[in-house]
Amino acid sequence: MFERLQKKWGVSPGRLLLILITFALGGSATGYVGRKIMDLTAINTPWIYIPIYIIVVTIVWPAMVLLVSIPFGQFTFFRSYIIKLFKKISGRSNKTSITRIAIFASGAGSNAQKIIDHFRNHPSIKIALIACNKPGAGVLNIAQKENIPTLLIEKEPFFRGDACTEALRKAGIDFIVLAGFLWKIPLKLISQYPNRIVNIHPALLPKYGGKGLYGHFVHEAVIAAGEKESGITIHYVDEHYDHGDHILQEKVTVEPHDTPESLARKIQQLEHRYFPAVIESVIQTQNRR
């Protein structure tokens, strides 16, 4: 059960423990405050007391769990959780709503273009934003050509500020795709989008992942090690480099005559073939829950 919750919310075991503690303490606080409120009513008749008590604790619970979540550092998670719960109960969340994707990229944007093409006429998924940390990156030209809004990410506010969460909220972003984005994702952004950030890595993780291993550096390392195969790993993003739960891995053979450039072309073919379809599958599966 705990592994299933960890995967569903996209959190580490440590964060899952803090979330469960918050749930427990928030529930206890709700019960205590609910009884105190009922004591003020002086209602003693059970058939009146019970339904009113249920209404009271239902109203009190969000405030209590948010209050308890603050010292445990889980406020953003529970804020998002309660908003989604409210939408589901009120019927505002429905299967025909549009899931708005932000693509984070740092380079030319070949994967971004394939993702845009895949979802161009999709009935329920839309590429709503291109976020980039390099002013001259080719992906920004793609965004301009496709008439997609852009967000230029600055290092200081990204890592020490709000991690662009406010800008993403204003853009109505529901899901984030990392398509060649070279910065580590801050915990604040991960908490805001639990299990809704995916990345593609050009190797078979856990091999050849981590800080500094991206692009041609990965392919050079694979060939230097004499590996017989390489491939792609599509995975959820957590607070560590290239570490989140795997969604899909696909392989290619590394031939004796392969160079980093020829291996990169093989890997790119896998990326273009599988990444857009996996994004669609993950979003549709989550929306059905």
Amino acid at 199: N
Q: Which is the CATH superfamily of the domain at 99-288?
A: Formyl transferase, N-terminal domain (3.40.50.170)
Q: How far is the C-alpha of 5 from the C-alpha of 1, rounded, in Å? A: 6
Token pair, residue 71, equals 């010292």
* Higher-confidence position of 77 and 125: 125
pLDDT at 76: 80
User: Would the pLDDT of 170 be above 60?
Assistant: yes
Residue 133's contacts (CB-CB under 8 Å, 6 or more residues apart) are 106, 152, 153, 154, 155, 158, 181, 182, 183
DSSP per-residue letters across 23-57: HHHHHHHHHHHHHHHHHHHT---HHHHHHHHHHHH
Catalytically annotated residues: 201
Query: Could you state, in order of their start, the residue ranges of all structural domains in the chain?
Result: 2-90, 99-288
**∠ CA 78-84-87, rounded to 5°:** 140
Residue 223's contacts (CB-CB under 8 Å, 6 or more residues apart) are 254, 258, 259, 260, 263
Residue 240's contacts (CB-CB under 8 Å, 6 or more residues apart) are none
pLDDT at 91: 65
* Higher-confidence position of 131 and 243: 131
The pLDDT tens digits of the residues spanning 67-118 come to 999 998 888 888 888 887 887 777 665 545 899 999 999 999 999 999 999 9
* Higher-confidence position of 252 and 92: 252
